[in-house]
Amino acid sequence: MPPRSFWKGYLKLSLVTCPVAMVPATTDNEKVRFHTLNRKTGNRVVSQYVDSETGKPVDQDNEVRGYERAENEYVQLEDDEIDAVALESTRTIDIDMFVPRESIEWIWYDKPHYLTPDDPVGEEAFSVIRDAMAATNMVGISRLVMYRRERAVMLVPRDNGIVLWTLRYGEEVRDPNAYFGDMKSSKPDSKLMPLVKQLIDERTKEWTPKMVDDPVQDRLLDIIADKQKGKKRSAKTKAAPAPETSGNVINIMDALKKSIAAGAKKK
């Protein structure tokens, strides 16, 4: 059963408008979560704010947000002062521009959401906007108040729906030139390329979500199930020791040939 929509509003392109619904495309509901308990009583432990200097608990009425302007110096902001600058929520995704899909790099993508028509009458308008973007390989750019902040969002056609991505703010993305700019652009030996390509070909598979299963979560669920049945688990097995490396420079050609030979043996 699909989750309930967490946002409803309108998709608008010039004079074309249709009602839409949106849900997050990802979820962490299936993650194993733990509570902290008192080992002696089995009761949950609750957290409490205490004064960092006096060590005494702080009443909720005395809690206030502070911005650190210098070491141990804070500017206090009341809730009504913070709320005063909050943006008024809008329920319309007004597409005001389009850009080529490949012009926005993956690093700007933040959170994905599924956008669907929320009324049979509006399906035709939704479909024509979606299909026109797909036909021109364009994505729509808009702004929307989400998670209590105004966000730039990108609309990408996918199958019968649209994926709405919130985009990262400019200050969140680091300049790659600061990290890659000083790297040498030397080209590797041309004899090495065919060998690496052969390794890539041998390891190429069709993508499947099974590739990103969480083995730790599966083991945790096994442990929890055994504990419920009263079974005892054996101690954790020791990890395999890390391969020893010599101080000599690795001969890449020899390493590639050995890798290919090992792959052929397995087959």
Predicted confidence at residue 247, as pLDDT, reads: 47
CA triplet 161, 166, 171: central angle to 5 degrees? 160
Q: Which range, of 126-140, 142-156, 246-260, averages the lowest pLDDT? A: 246-260
CA 156 to CA 115: how far, in whole Å?
10
Would the pLDDT of 249 be above 50? Answer: no
- What whole-number percentage of the chain has pLDDT above 70? 89
What distances in angstroms separate CA 193 from CA 147, 190, 215, one per listed residue? 47, 6, 34
Predicted confidence at residue 111, as pLDDT, reads: 95
Say what the pTM is. 0.72
CA 123 to CA 15: how far, in whole Å?
15
CA 44 to CA 47: how far, in whole Å?
10
Predicted confidence at residue 89, as pLDDT, reads: 62
Q: How confident is the model at residue 207 (pLDDT cuts 50, 70, 90)?
A: confident
Averaged over 182-209, what is the pLDDT? 84
Query: Can you list the domains of the chain with their CATH numbers?
Result: 7-27+85-172 (2.40.290.10), 186-265 (no CATH)
CA triplet 102, 107, 109: central angle to 5 degrees? 80
CA 110 to CA 100: how far, in whole Å?
18
- What whole-number percentage of the chain has pLDDT above 90? 44
Q: How confident is the model at residue 94 (pLDDT cuts 50, 70, 90)?
A: very high
Q: How confident is the model at residue 152 (pLDDT cuts 50, 70, 90)?
A: very high
- How many CA atoms lie less than 13 Å away from 6 in the CB half-sphere? 10
Q: How confident is the model at residue 99 (pLDDT cuts 50, 70, 90)?
A: very high
Q: How confident is the model at residue 49 (pLDDT cuts 50, 70, 90)?
A: very high
| Closest of 144, 139, 127 to residue 92, by C-alpha | 144
Question: Of residues 266 and 163, which shows the higher confidence score?
Answer: 163
Question: Of residues 18 and 190, which shows the higher confidence score?
Answer: 18
Averaged over 116-120, what is the pLDDT? 93
Of these ranges, 139-153, 225-239, 241-255, the one predicted with the greatest mean pLDDT is: 139-153
What's the chain's average pLDDT? Answer: 85
Of these ranges, 99-103, 185-189, 242-246, the one predicted with the greatest mean pLDDT is: 99-103
Q: How confident is the model at residue 248 (pLDDT cuts 50, 70, 90)?
A: very low
Averaged over 78-85, what is the pLDDT? 79
Predicted confidence at residue 83, as pLDDT, reads: 73
Spatial contact of 8 and 21, defined as CB atoms under 8 Å apart: yes
